[in-house]
Copies of this chain bind each other. A is one copy, B any other.
Amino acid sequence: MADLHIQINRENGGIAGQIAAELRDAIRGGRLAPGTRLPATRDLAADLQVSRGVVVEAYEQLVAEGFLVSRVGAGTRVTPRTPTAPDPTLPPTPQPAPAPKPRSAPPHNLQPAPPQKPQPALAWDAPPAAAPRDPGAGVAATRRSYYGHRPTSPDLAHFPRQRWLAAVRHVLTTVPSDALDYGDPGGVPELREELAGYLRRVRAADVRPENLVIVGGVAQGLSLVVHVLSRERELRLAVEDPTSLGQVPLLRRAGARLVPVPVDEEGLDVRRLTGGAALVTPAHQFPTGVVLSPSRRAALVEWAHAGDRFVLEDDYDAEFRFDRDPVGCLQGLAPDRVVLSGSVSKALAPGLRLGWVAAPPELAEAVRRARGELDLGSPVVDQYALAHFLRTGGYDRHLRRMRREYRRRRDALVAALSEELPQVRVKGIEAGLHVYLELPDGWTEQEVVRAARELGLSAEAVGPMREFAGPPAVVVGFARLPAHQAAEVAHGLKVRMSGQKIDRGGHLA
């Protein structure tokens, strides 16, 4: 049993979080070696003079993040680094992925990459084709567009305009002139310092300023990382299936050959992983909303270590976890193999185009260099402004406020859907700004998307995001749906999907 030295500052709020952080540090630092058995929750609670529930919460958090494994009758242990005996909590031996089910794929679908063949011509290189006769083509075309509202967009009516302006004013009245010159393409040092602290604290990341490259959002972060990784040899990049379609052309343009790997109820099916790297959304898979399970996290890290592969972690909406602390990022579990990408797009506004990549030192330097040979880095004023906003606590306050508000909206929508449309399975609601709706028999994705959009919701069909077959589903964003309108919207959806005729005013005809 481990000898633990845990210090708690009771005035610092979040005791479970503090215990988890201390344990995490002890595991990372090697003080708690892989396989070490932890004290029973009851004993540790007595030692620390806290309630047992607090310790349970801390252990659960670390199990969710993959630092600990817990089995009935066997207690809680630090996750073994390389299991010597098969561990029943780990998935079985990887098997070759079955060939994707043949289907009439839309031209912009994920293409399974046949090895050794030239990358197929990309649909978006071709001049825009006339709309095919497929009745869903219109919606598909809208979804493909790389701008405009998305189900994952935040409510921009809550953008903290005055506080952001105050941060910009602070910058423009205090930075020296030289700060406005060509800067470090890796980003303003003050921002990297603040962000490293933030990511350690809020995302349990294992990151220092020199691991960070400031980028123009997750899109650019992924572009640069894939570009760097695919320069010397072909990069076969495993991508979650279903996935966000918007990133498909981006990843291919950056040089990756995409390999779809299915997602199930535990997240990416790591047993079926193939390729030289994997792109994942562990905190809240897009679009399904699944949180990657603890055993899958461990298996994914194992896969990365075993083949010196990189895992690209898209941490796009992890700040918004509603019912418990956010699951720490995967990067914190394996900082030498995981590249973390995040941005302020969900927390503040996509229009700021401000994000980060946290990578092992050598890769971070290659990304920074690539940035210096692409566009010389991000604009500096907003970088200093974000550093100020982080330093003065404005960012945390805004996140707390929005988390409360989004939880209200999610609860209202989920309740209303369950009331009006019990036949729809609502999933992926632990975090983020969208819900995943699995549709009952007889409903088509296109009909639901059309109905939802008529009601002013941002909605996308999941079918075109799939290469492997799956049940019909739709993602619906709730960030902009006020709680008091949820019932009306759910009712409107019910009316529309029941086949009743609607007049132009949205009323039953």
Contacts and interface: CB of A to CB of B under 8 A. Distances in A.
Contacts of A185: 146-147
Contacts of A215: 375
B216 A379 contact: yes
17 contacts: A146-B372, A147-B184, A147-B185, A149-B182, A153-B181, A157-B177, A159-B177, A180-B350, A180-B351, A181-B351, A249-B373, A352-B380, A353-B377, A353-B379, A353-B380, A379-B379, A379-B382
Interface in A139-185: 146-150, 153, 156-157, 159, 161-162, 164-165, 168-169, 172-173, 177-185
A202 interface: no
Interface of A: 124-125, 146-150, 153, 156-157, 159, 161-162, 164-165, 168-169, 172-173, 177-185, 215-217, 219-220, 223, 231, 249-250, 253-254, 349-354, 369-370, 372-382
A60 B155 CA distance: 56
Given A146-B376, A147-B185, 9 more contacts: A124-B373, A147-B182, A161-B172, A165-B169, A180-B352, A216-B216, A216-B375, A350-B376, A353-B379
Contacts of A254: 374
Contact of A182 (B350, B369, B372): B350
A159 B179 CA distance: 11
A159 B146 CA distance: 35
Contact of A219 (B157, B374, B382): B374
A146 B231 CA distance: 21
Contact of A147 (B183, B219, B250): B183
B184 A373 contact: no
A105 to B, nearest CB: 20
A162 B185 CA distance: 26
A376 B169 contact: no
Contacts of A164: 172
Contact of A180 (B156, B168, B169, B376): B156
B223 A375 contact: yes
Contacts of A376: 146-147, 216-217, 219-220, 350, 353
6 A-B pairs with least C-beta separation: A220-B375, A351-B380, A156-B177, A180-B349, A180-B351, A353-B379
Contacts of A374: 219-220, 223, 250, 253-254
A273 to B, nearest CB: 25
A157 to B, nearest CB: 5
Contacts of A379: 216, 351-354, 379, 382
